[in-house]
Amino acid sequence: MRMHDQRHQYGGVAAPRIPDVHGELETHITVDCPRETDRLARWAAARGIGFAHIVLARGATPSQPMLGLRGKGSAAGQLAAADGVVAELARDGFRAVRVKTEAAPWADGVPQDDRAAVGLGPAQHFEHHVKLLLAAGHDRGGLEALGAPHAAHVSWNARRTRADGREERFVTQRCRGVGRATAEARLSALLADLRAASLPVLEVEREFVLYDTNLGLDDGWMDPEPAQ
């Protein structure tokens, strides 16, 4: 996997080198604003930028308000666009603490097999988001226990509520050090266990994380991956 030497830093943590990947891209910019999430949401809406307030089921930093930028092209170009948003945030009194960019798994440059994934750092990995539709008061502990053997953990969007009272939850799986084929097999195993438990799957998103400037925000949420 080819890399650019350009590096950036947010939240006091240097980002890894930028992979030479081209295709459909999405960047999430996490902002430290515990008392100003509503102002951040208005700020994003005024600029046509996506906003979500993701809450982790556990961990050192469970509250993670973030912006979402979509694009198509090079990873370096996507980061340049994110830099502009980070600078504008700072001018308006917001502090970005993480910039994380993902590519579609089929994008040019994403490792398709395990051999191509050799040498990747922890910030570069496949990530899957399985959205579930659950009854209010569901067994969250049971869901967490089901996901853990698959390196998958629970979160939700605090701003997303449903009129019918049911709750949407994400089960996020990370697959490090492997190519797309192995990652897809691990996702299939997770989905099989979710469906065996009669948990309704609304949507499945597949991504490859290109860089992440602050993995530490997920400390205590994502455990070391189990042996496969």
Fold matches, 22-103 and 114-211:
yes
What is the fold of 114-211?
Alpha-Beta Plaits (3.30.70)
% of the chain with per-residue pLDDT over 70: 90
Question: Quick one: what percent of the chain has pLDDT higher than 90?
Answer: 82
How far, in Å, CA of 189 to CA of 194, rounded?
9
Number of Cβ within 10 Å of residue 52's Cβ equals: 18
**Which contacts qualify for 36-42: CB closer than 8 Å, 24 or more apart?**
36/94, 37/65, 40/65, 40/67, 40/94, 41/65, 41/159
Q: Which CATH architecture fits 22-103? A: 2-Layer Sandwich (3.30)
- On the question of pLDDT at 15 being above 80, the answer is no
Measured in whole angstroms, the distance separating CA 105 from the mean position of its chain's CA atoms is 14
Instruction: Name the residue among 71, 69, 79 with its Cα closest to residue 49.
Output: 69
Mean pLDDT over 144-168 rounds to 95
Least confident residue range of 3-7, 161-165, 171-175 = 3-7
**pLDDT level of residue 12 (50, 70, 90 thresholds):** very low
Domains in the chain: boundaries: 22-103, 114-211
**Tens of pLDDT along 111-149?**
999 999 998 888 899 999 999 999 998 999 999 999 999
Predicted TM-score (pTM) of this structure: 0.89
Q: Is the Cβ–Cβ distance between 71 and 77 less than 8 Å?
A: yes
Element (H, E) at 181: helix 180-196
pLDDT score for 8: 52
